[in-house]
Amino acid sequence: MDGPLGKILSEIREKGFITFDRFVELSLYDSGGYYTSKRLSLKPGEDFFTAPELSPLFGKVLSSYIEKLKESFKLPLNLVEIGAGKGFLAKDLLKFLKPKAYFVVEKRGEVPFLKGKVKWLNSLKELPNLRGFVVANELFDAFPFKRLVKEKGKLFEVVVAEEEGELKEELRPFQGSIEPLEGGEYPLFVGWKELLREVYLKLEEGVFVVFDYGGSFGEVASKRSFRAFRNGKIVNDYLKEVGKTDLTACVDFDRLKRLSEEIGFKVLEFKPLSAFLLENGIEKFASFKELPAVLTLLVDMGRKFKVLVLLKERGQAPSGKA
């Protein structure tokens, strides 16, 4: 059996069902999964374009922003990128910023054109402690997530079971403090806090710049923000072609901010991507030829994506429980 389906079926047969976050984890990251096999080509795009795949302008604006922060906070130009994917942002930041060191933390294999230019690590545990900058574009929306729904005032989670060799969804009662709003379905991402905490501990002093697709709790929890992509299209038959289908959902930035602050980060900025790009001079960097990319970045992605900038001050121990 190709891809992660064999493992998914064997876990279902053992336990009767698997939770949706486990289904996402195996579908995206197990051997033959979406990120471990399908998104390995070095072409931009495929099922979706991320901002750095669309244009180097994104990296140019981010470089200029990092230069400013470097001066304000007197930080060295050590860069860490988590979830670098095909390496487009790394290529641009290396070119425009010429950092002292560039670490990539990525679950998938090393991108050949970055060999010798970056230190490629498969886990944050391998990262040395440092002062500097951590960046992540579309990382938090690529974490495994549960899908919570409310029916007749009761909270349920979607799980994946099997019927006559086919995968199917079922609802199971769920206990938790976060609930979707009326008619909505809430994506409860698993593992965000652990990652934030690891970044906090590795950064002796520095700034973590996060870009992602999403909005406030109200925006995310009032609709079904879970989406599946295959061959460039949104699909509804996401239980089919496991490993060839991307599974993602909107980031609840209220929760992400809350978790970051609980750990000890200070929120320096939170705004739509469009405002970030304009405040940091996208118009100065763009040529006439790049106008279509500017419009996509500002109008389409600009509204849907947000930037969250977190500060770790020197000598701060993490707060709260793990």
Ligand X SMILES: C[S@@+](CC[C@H](N)C(=O)[O-])C[C@H]1O[C@@H](n2cnc3c(N)ncnc32)[C@H](O)[C@@H]1O
Minimum distance of ligand X from residue 51's CB (angstroms): 6
Least distance between ligand X and beta carbon 193 (Å): 12
- Residue 106 or 185 having the CB closest to ligand X: 106
Torsion, Cα 294 295 299 305, to 10 degrees, reads -30
Residue type, 121: L
Min separation Cβ 173 and ligand X, Å: 29
How far apart are CB 108 and ligand X at their closest, in Å? 5
Q: How far is the CB of 94 from ligand X (least distance, A)?
A: 15
Q: Among residues 105 and 118, whose Cβ is nearest to ligand X?
A: 105
Nearer to ligand X, 44 or 292 (CB): 44
CB of 281 to ligand X, least distance (A): 21
Is the torsion defined by CA of 48, 52, 53, 55 positive or negative? Answer: positive
Of 138 and 185, CB closest to ligand X:
138
Q: Which residues bind ligand X (CB under 6 A)?
A: 35, 50, 52-53, 82-86, 88-89, 105-108, 137-139, 142-143, 195
Query: Distances from the Cα of 292 to the Cαs of 43, 84, 278, 296, in angstroms?
Result: 19, 24, 15, 6
For residue 71, what are the contacts with CB-CB under 8 A and spacing of at least 6? none
Q: Which is nearer to ligand X, 12 or 188 (CB)?
A: 188
The pair of three-digit structure tokens given for residue 222, joined into one six-digit string = 């009032």
Contact (CB, 8 A) for 133 and 75 = yes
Interacting residues of 116 by C-beta distance below 8 A, sequence separation 6+: none
Each as own residue / partner, the long-range contacts of residues 273-279 (CB below 8 Å, 24 or more positions apart, any chain) are 273/51, 273/211, 273/297, 273/301, 273/302, 273/303, 273/304, 273/305, 273/306, 273/307, 274/298, 274/299, 274/302, 274/303, 275/302, 276/61, 276/65, 276/307, 277/57, 277/58, 277/61, 277/302
Nearer to ligand X, 150 or 306 (CB): 306
Nearer to ligand X, 31 or 72 (CB): 31
Tokens coding 318: 């993490």
CA angle 148, 149, 152 (to 5 degrees): 145
Q: How far is the CB of 264 from ligand X (least distance, A)?
A: 20
